[in-house]
Amino acid sequence: MSLLSIFDAADYLSELLHRAEELKKGAAPRRADGKTLGLLFEKASTRTRVSFEVAMTHLGGHSIYLNPQDTQIGRGETVADTAMTLSRYLDAVAIRAFKHSSLMEFAAHSTIPVINALTDREHPVQALSDLLTIKEKKGGFDVKLAYVGDGNNVCNSLIGGAALVGMEMAVATPKGYEPDPEVVRKAKAISDRIEVMEDPHAAVSGAEIIYTDVWISMGQEEEKTKRIRDFRGYQVNRELVERSDDALIMHCLPAKRGLEITEDVLDSPASIVFDQAENRLHMEKALLERLL
């Protein structure tokens, strides 16, 4: 069993949320003594790396950080050969890759569970943790979530997650930056409460939660000037927030203060961004318990 997409958790999402809540309240984790998680990361990370490493420590297991530049994959070894080799050593692997195709190729040749720790298509562990945070703050999913900004990997996984739990979600992106159409199609086949639009004001109207992410992700630095111009009007600022229903503010971090979100909103009492960050740990412990 692997978690390559948020949709892979469909059959056990409710159970996963419940278990993460138990673990956060202090329940004893199921032990993973002698188990080793590999962290094969092509991209830099703070929350994903640290939360997975701490999660394995809490379970009694061990983790190994694998930078491609320090392994043979950085010298040209194929993804397939790497997957078949690491499967002989590890009990599971979390992959943070530039291309979703690399993750899928690795999973196709792996005999151990593979976790999508971020690709250009999805970031399911982030979305799972966000659902935990929403459930914790709102008591369930009978709320409206507005996502404003880039229809990126986080947005894609949130769309899938919202559909799976029946939560209303409005996504506002500039033209040309919409979420993955296949993800939207799959989500709408599950739920009729997903809407994609261009108008951020319409998206946040009646919203109880407003979510945003960076406009310039890793690997997009050359597009910075164009992206800042294209996303003008999509900043989560005080004016936009006031059009909502006293919304809580979410951001997966790191944030570019003054770009996609203003400092006063990010640091406001309505901001729950660091609760989100903490919940990565509890959700990943629940996930690792299940996969290991």
Q: Which residues are catalytic?
A: 96, 123, 126, 213, 252, 280
CA-closest candidate to residue 211, choices 180, 168, 164: 168
Question: CA-to-CA distance for 118 and 122, rounded, in angstroms?
Answer: 6
**Angle at alpha carbon of residue 196, lines to 158 and 172, rounded to 5°:** 80
Which residues share a beta bridge with 261? 236, 257
Enumerate long-range contacts of 186-193, CB under 8 Å, 24 or more apart: 186/7, 186/160, 187/159, 187/160, 187/162, 187/163, 188/163, 190/163, 190/164, 191/162, 191/163, 191/164, 191/166, 193/162, 193/163, 193/166, 193/167, 193/168, 193/169
Strand, helix or coil for residue 271 = strand
Q: Return the DSSP state at 70.
A: G
Alpha carbons 261 and 29: distance in angstroms, whole number: 36
Separation of alpha carbons 217 and 125, rounded Å? 17
For the beta carbon of residue 75, count every other beta carbon within 10 angstroms: 8
Give the tokens for residue 183.
């993800």
